[in-house]
Amino acid sequence: MTPPPAKPPSPEVPRHVAIIMDGNGRWASQRGKSRLFGHRAGAESLRAVLRACRDHGVDYLTVYAFSTENWVRPKAEVDGLMSLLRTFLRRDEHELHENEVRLHATGRLEGLSPGVRKELFRVIEATRNYDKGHLILALNYGGRTEIVDAACALARKVQAGELEPEAIDEAALSAHMYLPEIPDPDLMIRTSGELRLSNFLLWELSYAEFYFTETLWPDFREEQFAEALAAYAERSRRFGAPS
Ligand code: FPP
């Protein structure tokens, strides 16, 4: 991440897609079911979209799985989401190996329970040598928190005499984000008709194309993902240059 790339990436296929998986609760209530039922169906969409990334040649997929704000939800829902995450890590690990997909996580991971952290770090470690695809789970993630954490890390370096304040530029701040080695998203998708960023990747989405759809996340599968990619292919990315 850093200043806009001198040469734009392929205009056809985004290298990195970031998704706000919204609408699980509404999808469930339309069917008279619990919110957790909706999240379970949402996990199926995540599986489908991960496969679609492989098929379309999208190298990086970041999904907003749990925000710093989500802790205010009822305890049963929070516990259910954490349990779904652990199931995903156990049940889908083999698919990451088969497709040589590396798992990453972004967020204040120390805020997750020891059980979730253990499972998460185990799969991150087990897939660390893969490079055919990358799945990034945003967990206990907040965009402002990430920027604050990067600013604190820089301040500590200045205090320790390791960095001059004048040396702090965009590249320096980028280098202190949670996952500096991951390229910025090219395309951000939000489902369920909400037109907000909700504190998602505030720094990294500076030059991304946005795609909003009314489709609720559990109904967002390969076909809907392909439609989003087709819309992206029509965009003209200028990175501040004249058209
Ligand atoms: C937003 O929908 C969704 C979430 C807060 C959680 C997303 C989690 C999943 C899709 C589960 C699968 C994830 C993993 C990593 C296995 P909402 O509940 O706010 O929907 P609503 O706006 O309709 O209420």
Q: What is the pLDDT of residue 10?
A: 54
Question: Going by CA atoms, what residue is nearest to atom 24 of ligand 1?
Answer: 25
With respect to residue 163, please indicate whether it lies within any of the assigned structural domains. no
pLDDT at position 137, please?
98
The residue whose C-alpha atom lies closest to atom 14 belonging to ligand 1 is 85
User: How confident is the model over 79-87, as a mean pLDDT?
Assistant: 97
Average pLDDT over residues 176-200: 98
| Separation of CA 217 and ligand 1 centre (Å) | 8
pLDDT tens per residue, range 21-55: 999 999 999 999 999 999 999 999 999 999 999 99
**For the segment 190-211, what is each residue's pLDDT rounded down to a tens digit?**
999 999 999 999 999 999 999 9
Residue 118: is its pLDDT beyond 70? yes
Whether 120 lines ligand 1, by a CB cut-off of 6 Å, is no
Q: What is the mean predicted confidence (pLDDT) over 226-241?
A: 88
Strand ranges inside the chain, DSSP E: 16-20, 60-67, 101-106, 133-141, 187-190, 209-212
Model confidence over 167-176: pLDDT tens digits? 999 999 999 9
Q: Measured from the CB, is residue 190 less than 6 Å from ligand 1?
A: no
**217 falls in which pLDDT band (50, 70, 90)?**
very high
* 122 within a domain of the structure (yes/no): yes
Mutation to probe ligand 1, out of 31, 81, 216 (largest number of atoms < 8 A from CB): 81
Q: What is the mean pLDDT of the chain?
A: 95
Residues with Cβ within 8 Å of 233's Cβ and at least 6 positions away in sequence, in order, are 11, 12, 13
Which atom of ligand 1 approaches the CA of 28 most closely?
23
Q: Look up residue 53 and give its two tokens.
A: 């990334």
Note the pLDDT tens digit of each residue in 125-163: 999 999 999 999 999 999 999 999 999 999 999 999 999
66 neighbors 140 (Cβ within 8 angstroms): yes
Assess whether pLDDT exceeds 70 at residue 18.
Answer: yes
User: Does any domain span residue 243?
Assistant: no
Q: Give the amino acid at 185.
A: P
pLDDT bin (cut points 50, 70, 90) of residue 96 is very high
Q: Of all helices (H) and strands (E), which one includes residue 130?
A: none
Q: What is the pLDDT of residue 240?
A: 76
Q: Percentage of the chain with pLDDT > 90?
A: 92
Domain count, the chain: 1
| Angle subtended by helix axes 222-234 and 35-56, to nearest 10 | 50
**Cβ-contact 199, 68 below 8 angstroms:** yes
- Assigned domain for 111 exists: yes
> Has residue 241 got a pLDDT over 60?
yes
Share of the chain above pLDDT 70, in %: 95
Q: Whose CA is nearest to atom 16 of ligand 1?
A: 85
Q: Is residue 9 assigned to a domain?
A: no
The reply to whether ligand 1 has any atom less than 6 angstroms from the CB of 46 is yes
Q: What is the pLDDT of residue 236?
A: 77
CATH number at residue 78: 3.40.1180.10
Residue of 31, 37, 39 best suited for mutating to test ligand 1, as the one with most atoms within 8 Å of CB = 39
How far, in Å, is the centroid of ligand 1 from the Cα of 215?
14
Q: Whose CA is nearest to atom 1 of ligand 1?
A: 22
Q: Is residue 132 part of a domain?
A: yes
Cβ of 24 less than 6 Å from ligand 1: yes
| pLDDT for 3 beyond 70 | no
Task: Report the interhelical angle of 114-126 vs 75-91 (nearest 10°).
Answer: 20
Q: Is the CB of 42 under 6 A from ligand 1?
A: yes
- Domain region containing 37: 16-142+184-232
Q: 């710093």: which residue's tokens?
A: 68
Asked, for residue 155, whether it belongs to a domain, the answer is: no
